[in-house]
């Protein structure tokens, strides 16, 4: 069963408008969401896929072409210029709402939320179109056979990814991995990373740490090894490193931590 959607609380701010169509003798209907990142001048756009129940065939054809037209205009001139053009030129038939500010962790997630709230239901197919969102604590707990973790939400996966149950998303809070991992951002992880850990960014569970905010962390893993016998080796030292030079690295022993997952990318 899918979990209830949790509120979005994040460090970034987005701006969105709703697109509405009002055809003769028909009730006005929201048909899409235009979400913009003011800091990067980038847009995320989601439109209805079918207009047969809202418009005659000729009007439906025009509406179906609208998404591609907006995408092209945003690519050529930027999201702000495209939005200003919409605000200046739309007619009584195709309308646009006032701009609204919204907190953003990942623009793709917020776009889905707005589309479901104002346009139509978003279909979620676990591990086909969407991935589970866990807290870092729940992600670590899900590794234990005695402790299952239910998803707090389901987040649309990046385009073109082959999905499987080893993938999940989680928020990373703090500035120690900036600029690569922004504070409060939503990130993609894979359980049980294979191969060498050297140089990888890993989700770590630290043992013996009482502060909940420091117990689960993302850091770069580096180690030095020594040969202990024929085809045998051991870690001489293990270091967990931040990417932000304002923060300190830690030297740890193998018994001091567990690797929960490998960081793959930020979800935008």
Do both 101 and 146 map to the same domain? no
Q: How many domains are contained in the chain?
A: 2
Query: Which three-class secondary structure string do you get for the chain?
Result: CCCCCCCCCCCEEEEEEEEEECCCCCCCEEEEEEEEECCCCEEEEEECCCCCCCCCHHHHHHHHCHHHHHHHHHHHHCHHHHHHHHHHHCCCCEEECCCEEEEECCHHHHHHHHHHHHCCCCCCCECCCEEEECCHHHHHHCCCCCCCCCCCEEEECCCCCCCCCCEEEEEECCCCCCCCCCCCEEEEEEECCCCCCCCCEEEEEECCCCCHHHHEEEEEEEEEEEEEECCEEEEEEEEEECCCCCCCCEEECHHHEEEEEEEEEEEC
87 falls within a domain: yes
- pLDDT recorded at residue 6: 43
35 falls within a domain: yes
What average pLDDT does the structure give for the chain?
86
> Given a cut of 80, is residue 245 above it in pLDDT?
yes
- pLDDT recorded at residue 236: 63
Do both 137 and 199 map to the same domain? yes
- pLDDT recorded at residue 59: 82
> Given a cut of 70, is residue 235 above it in pLDDT?
no
Do both 145 and 59 map to the same domain? no
Do both 21 and 81 map to the same domain? yes
Q: Which band of pLDDT confidence, cut at 50, 70 and 90, is reported for residue 8?
A: low
Do both 111 and 175 map to the same domain? no
Do both 143 and 241 map to the same domain? yes
- Tens digits of per-residue pLDDT, 62-91? 889 989 999 999 999 999 999 999 999 877
Residue at which a domain ends, from 118, 143, 159: 118
2 falls within a domain: no
- pLDDT recorded at residue 51: 85
240 falls within a domain: yes
Do both 171 and 227 map to the same domain? yes
Q: What range does the domain containing 219 cover?
A: 130-267
204 falls within a domain: yes
Q: Give the CATH number of the domain where residue 259 resides.
A: 2.10.109.10
> Given a cut of 60, is residue 237 above it in pLDDT?
yes
Do both 109 and 211 map to the same domain? no
- Tens digits of per-residue pLDDT, 138-163? 777 654 443 445 788 999 999 889 99
Do both 31 and 100 map to the same domain? yes
> Given a cut of 70, is residue 57 above it in pLDDT?
yes
- Tens digits of per-residue pLDDT, 24-52? 777 889 999 999 999 999 999 999 988 88
> Given a cut of 50, is residue 186 above it in pLDDT?
yes
Do both 50 and 178 map to the same domain? no
- pLDDT recorded at residue 206: 86
Residue at which a domain ends, from 118, 140, 155: 118
- pLDDT recorded at residue 1: 33
């Amino acid at each position: 069963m899918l979990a209830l959607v949790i509120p979005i609380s994040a460090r970034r701010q987005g701006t969105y408008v709703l697109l509405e169509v009002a055809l003769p003798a028909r009730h006005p209907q929201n048909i899409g969401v235009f979400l913009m990142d003011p800091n990067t001048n980038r847009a995320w756009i989601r439109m209805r896929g079918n207009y047969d129940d809202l418009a005659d065939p000729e009007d439906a054809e025009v509406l179906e072409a609208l998404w591609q037209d907006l995408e092209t205009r945003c690519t050529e001139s930027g999201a702000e210029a495209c939005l200003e053009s919409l605000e200046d030129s739309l007619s009584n038939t195709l309308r646009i709402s006032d701009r609204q500010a919204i907190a953003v962790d990942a623009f793709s997630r917020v776009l889905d939320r707005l589309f479901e709230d104002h346009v139509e239901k978003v279909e979620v197919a676990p591990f086909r179109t969407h991935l589970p969102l866990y807290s870092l604590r729940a992600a670590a707990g899900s590794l234990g056979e005695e402790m299952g973790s239910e998803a707090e939400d389901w987040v649309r996966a990046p385009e073109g990814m082959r999905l499987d149950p080893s993938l999940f998303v989680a928020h990373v809070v703090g500035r120690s991995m900036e600029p690569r991992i922004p504070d409060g951002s939503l990130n993609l992880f894979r359980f049980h990373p294979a191969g060498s850990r050297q140089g990888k960014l890993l989700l770590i569970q630290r043992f013996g740490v009482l502060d909940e905010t420091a117990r689960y962390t993302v850091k770069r893993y580096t180690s030095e090894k020594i040969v202990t016998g024929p085809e045998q080796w051991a870690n001489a030292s293990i270091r967990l490193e931040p990417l932000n030079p304002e923060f300190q690295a830690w030297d740890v022993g193998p018994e001091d931590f567990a690797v929960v997952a490998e960081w793959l990318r930020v979800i935008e």
